[in-house]
Structure 1
């Protein structure tokens, strides 16, 4: 699995592109906007880096059709190693706390929430930087 962080200049357009990123096969995780720069964090389930690069090119093409552009640091790519420690610890802790506070229903919700948070922890701890891709679309001027 790969994690990609996209940085896009919105050019005054105040729309988010989560739908666009998910159309290219990415799973959006996080979005923030700061002074006209949009930053998207997304996951891509694949073991082939070339497939991820093709999906990044698709995202760039679709974003350019929306009037958005990227820079030299358009896409930061990280390889995620599959780990289970965070999911196991999160699920166990979530189940214990959920059962203590809300009984059986809390146990179920605690397990699901704990596994989700454990997955995010596994992603952060198991990532290896793979590289940075610049904006691949040629800008036409004039």
Structure 2
């Protein structure tokens, strides 16, 4: 699995590009807008770096239609290792706390919430930088 962080210049446009990310095959996790720069943290479920690069080019094409562009740090690509430590610890801790505070219903909700937070922990700390892609191509219509 790969984690890709995009930085997009919005050029005064107030729309986000989450729909375009999904069309390109990315799973959006986090979105932030700061002074005309949109930052997207996404996941791409593949083990082939070439598929990820093709999806990045597809996303670049889709946002160029909206008049948006990137810069020298358009896409940072990280390889995410599949680890289960965070999911196991999060699920167990969530189950214990959920059962203490909410009984059986709390146990179920605590387990699910703990697994979700454990997955986010695994993604954040089990990653290695693969590369940095500049604004990939000069696109014109």
- Scaled by the length of structure 1, the TM-score of the pair is 0.96
Structure 2: give runs of 5+ residues left out of the alignment. Answer: none
Residue of structure 1 equivalent to 2:41 = 41
Q: Which residue does 2:105 correspond to in 1?
A: 105
Write the deviation string for residues 6-29 of structure 1: whole angstroms up to 9, x where unpaired. Answer: 000000001111111011111100
Hey, what's the Cα distance between the residues in 2 that align with 1:66 and 1:55?
17
Aligned counterpart, 1:69: 69
Alignment match, 1:59: 59
Distance in 2 of aligned mates of 1:128 and 1:70: 23
- Contiguous gaps of at least 5 residues in structure 1: none
TM-score, normalization: structure 2?
0.97
Could you give the per-residue CA deviations for residues 77-120 of structure 1, whole angstroms, max 9, x where no partner exists? 00000100000000000011111111111111111110000000
Could you tell me which residue of structure 2 aligns to residue 79 of structure 1? 79
Q: Which 4+ stretches in 1 moved above 4 angstroms?
A: none
Conserved in 2, the CA contact under 8 Å of 1:31 and 1:39? Answer: yes
1:2 deviation in Å?
0.1
Measured on the aligned residues, the alpha-carbon RMSD in Å equals: 0.9
Counterpart for residue 14 of structure 2: 14
Q: Any residues of structure 2 matched to 1:18-33 within 5 Å, and which?
A: 18-33=18-33
1:112-137 per-residue CA deviation (whole Å, 9 max, x = no partner) reads 11000000000111100001001113
